């Protein structure tokens, strides 16, 4: 391998897998583990939240002022580009150029650097790490219910709960500007979303942990607070997303992405977005890549529960292709795998590279040695129900180690068309995102302390309206910096892809 600039010509498979084994300890370690800490009382946890509020007042979250030592977002994008598939990086930059919101989607690292300079309560949770409104949507649960939840966990890591809420709030303000909503409409959207987070956290603080664990947004029976808002005329984008989600499955992907030459299905070529294995140039033969992926599937198989392994065993791998996905993820390796059962019925899997979370340099090093496992563990912790094929693996291919996680390409997945959202639609979507984020945080953090910190009033909600306006202004400046960097040829960009 010549280096990362050439990894567009390789697949995630080959010579050797690295599958970390569970750590065990001797008798002394077991005795030490048996002495658990005395749990805090409810009163202690309420006091913890109120003490945090006294140290970091809710109004302090309104502030955003870039530090004089702020790292240029262009420097951070260049840094990320070095670790990505070189030929795809210009597509990433081109997609980020489209609008301030498109830039925001790809700028998780610059915002993480900014959030690290803002006040927080020192109450930690499992963060999504990239909780903008496009990273929420519908998916199918194992029981075939349509749930609304966070659907992107590439950056998941422990950290201050405020960071997720601030990224969500800022995304609503920025998306509202892109849609030309007026200031009053945008303020109401952000207030309702943050208010939904606060009220949900307070509600969950009064419920048992088991109730919190089972809480979910089932699109078949939306919580009463959202049902009255779901109207085909006032919220058409959200309504269409819900109705179309069930059609997004492996069969629909097969019809869209495959053709059948010589009686064997193959993924169609649509360069540079979809590149079948046999069309990838370089020194590695396509048949070798396909064979390497068989080894990858065998190793990934071990990360699944026994019943899921049995399911996977009913399928055979027939083809794979590299696929460009998203905005921020463009340039990381993402592969789609076509598998068939004995009847020729398809199962599409997505194999996606997992690198260090953008949050880690500002919080702490991941406790997982494999970043694919980090993504999977974070997803299981935050989601009510996760993809039945969710797993992970690492490969050492010609001396280059990379981590991956695996999930179904489509399983009733759906997200609303933001450009087509009305103000009422974005209000509804924002409230659903706020509810979902609070539920995810309540599963891993001290929900009672966080609820006590937030309190009954809308002080935190109003502070985040101000933060969102200030950060949206910053985001527009950063977007212009990207435009200038491309115009000066400092960064390469390929638009319209």
Comparing 49-58, 222-231, 363-372, 412-421, the range with the smallest average pLDDT is 222-231
Beta-bridge partner residues of 218: 147
Tell if the pTM clears 0.85, that is, is over it: yes
Residue 399 CA, distance from chain mean position: 29
CB 358 within 8 A of CB 155: yes
Domain ranges of the chain: 40-221+228-247+419-487, 250-408
Return all residues near 133 (Cβ < 8 A) that are at least 6 apart.
168, 171, 172, 175, 418, 426, 429, 430, 433
The answer, yes or no, to whether residue 152 has pLDDT greater than 80, is: yes
Residue-wise pLDDT for 306-331, tens only, equals: 999 999 999 999 999 999 988 888 98
Structure-block tokens of residue 231: 């109207």
Q: What is the residue-averaged pLDDT of the chain?
A: 86
Give strand ranges (E) for 324-428.
334-340, 346-354, 391-397, 400-408
Residue-wise pLDDT for 444-478, tens only, equals: 999 999 999 999 999 999 999 999 999 999 999 99
pLDDT category at 143 given cuts 50, 70, 90 is low
pLDDT category at 215 given cuts 50, 70, 90 is confident
CB 102 within 8 A of CB 327: yes
* Residue 130 backbone dihedrals phi, psi, to 5 degrees: -150, 60
* Residue 317 backbone dihedrals phi, psi, to 5 degrees: -80, 130
* Residue that is written with structure tokens 């996905």 in the block: 325
Residue-wise pLDDT for 167-179, tens only, equals: 999 999 999 999 9
Number of Cβ within 10 Å of residue 159's Cβ equals: 24
CB 161 within 8 A of CB 127: yes
């Amino acid at each position: 391998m010549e280096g990362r600039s050439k990894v567009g010509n390789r697949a995630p498979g080959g010579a050797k897998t690295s599958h970390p084994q569970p750590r065990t300890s001797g008798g002394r370690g077991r005795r030490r583990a048996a002495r658990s800490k005395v749990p805090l009382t409810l009163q202690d946890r309420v006091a913890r939240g109120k003490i945090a509020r006294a140290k970091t007042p809710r109004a302090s979250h309104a502030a955003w002022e870039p530090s004089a030592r702020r790292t240029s977002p262009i420097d951070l994008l260049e840094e990320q580009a070095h670790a990505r598939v070189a030929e795809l990086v210009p597509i990433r930059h081109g997609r980020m150029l489209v609008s301030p919101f498109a830039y925001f989607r790809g700028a998780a690292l610059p915002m993480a650097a900014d959030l690290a300079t803002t006040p927080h309560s020192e109450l930690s949770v499992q963060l999504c790490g990239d909780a903008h409104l496009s990273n929420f949507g519908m998916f199918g649960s194992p029981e075939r219910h349509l749930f609304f939840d966070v659907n992107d966990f590439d950056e998941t890591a422990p950290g201050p709960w405020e960071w997720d809420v601030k990224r969500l709030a800022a995304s609503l303000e920025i998306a509202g500007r892109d849609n030309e909503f007026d200031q009053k409409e945008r303020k109401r959207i952000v207030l309702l979303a943050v208010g939904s987070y606060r009220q949900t956290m307070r509600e969950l603080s009064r419920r048992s942990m088991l109730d919190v664990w089972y809480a979910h947004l089932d699109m078949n029976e939306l919580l009463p607070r959202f049902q009255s808002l779901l109207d085909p005329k006032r919220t058409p984008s959200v309504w269409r997303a819900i109705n179309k989600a069930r059609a997004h499955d492996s069969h629909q992907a097969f019809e869209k992405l495959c053709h059948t030459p010589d009686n064997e299905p193959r993924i169609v070529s649509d360069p540079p977005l979809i590149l079948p294995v046999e069309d990838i140039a370089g020194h590695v033969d396509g048949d070798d890549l396909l064979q390497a992926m068989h080894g990858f599937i065998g190793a990934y198989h071990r990360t699944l529960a026994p019943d899921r392994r049995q399911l996977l065993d009913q399928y055979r791998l027939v083809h794979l292709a590299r696929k460009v996905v998203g905005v921020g993820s463009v340039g990381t390796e993402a592969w789609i795998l076509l598998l068939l059962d004995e009847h020729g019925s398809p199962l599409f899997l997505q194999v996606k590279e997992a690198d260090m979370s953008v949050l880690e340099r500002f919080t702490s090093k991941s406790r997982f040695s494999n970043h694919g496992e980090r993504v999977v563990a974070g997803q299981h912790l935050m989601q009510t129900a996760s993809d039945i094929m969710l797993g992970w693996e690492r490969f050492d291919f010609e001396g280059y180690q990379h981590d991956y996680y695996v999930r179904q390409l489509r399983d009733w997945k759906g997200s609303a068309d933001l450009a087509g959202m009305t103000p009422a639609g974005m209000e509804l979507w924002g409230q659903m995102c706020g509810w979902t984020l609070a539920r995810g945080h309540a599963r891993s953090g001290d929900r009672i302390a966080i609820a006590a910190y937030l309190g009954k009033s809308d002080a935190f909600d109003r502070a985040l309206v101000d933060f969102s306006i200030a950060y949206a202004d910053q985001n527009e400046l950063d977007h212009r910096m990207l435009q200038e960097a491309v115009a000066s040829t400092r960064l390469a960009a390929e638009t319209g892809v």
